[in-house]
Amino acid sequence: MVFVLYGCGKKPDVQNQSAGNKMQFSWNQELSVNDIPDFPLKGIIDGKEINYPYLNFEKWHGSNDNVLRFSTQKPEQPCGFIQNFQGIEIIRKGNTIELGVYEKKHFSDDNMGYKVSYITDAGGGNLTKSTSDWNFAMKIDSLNWKTISGKVVVCFNDVTKSWVAVRFSAAVCNN
């Protein structure tokens, strides 16, 4: 009696196939710059897919704050004020955002002078600002007096596991 075994080689490791896929992302309680996907703006806020057509970077010279904003509305003028702002704000209080990598890997880590929140319509024109913990990873690739570009991912430790990720290029607004 003769037995013959046929095989097709090693079974592919499914976990490794998805690792490093820069076209996918889902909420995670630990982030690093290596987790930032490489796609235009995507995300889920309060259980709903987001659409933020406007992005800018503001330098507030009086307070030396820097703000990266993703908004549901475009202002009437470039770098203009947005009445009833809804979107994501990444604020670095009293310090500049420069070229390089910024990481707050865990929800409990030090915020490095950053404040990150989202503002949504709670109904009836009432706006609500998130108060949940957050983590994020951001890489600024290019920054000059006119534009900023890079990529960022933020996860909020809220009930709906809100998150946003984007490769971006934005106008620099000097206020």
The residue extents of the domains of the chain are 26-174
Q: What is the pLDDT of residue 9?
A: 40
Q: What is the pLDDT of residues 29-48, one digit of tens each?
A: 999 999 999 888 899 999 99
Mean pLDDT score of the chain: 85
Q: What is the pLDDT of residues 47-87, one digit of tens each?
A: 999 988 889 899 887 788 899 999 998 888 878 888 889 99
Burial classification of residue 122, based on how many CB atoms lie within 10 Å of its CB (0-12 exposed, 13-18 middle, 19 or more buried): exposed
Q: Is the pTM of this model over 0.75?
A: yes
Q: What is the pLDDT of residue 106?
A: 98
pLDDT at 122 over 60: yes
- Which residues neighbour 99 within 8 Å (Cβ) at sequence distance 6 or greater? 140, 141, 142, 143
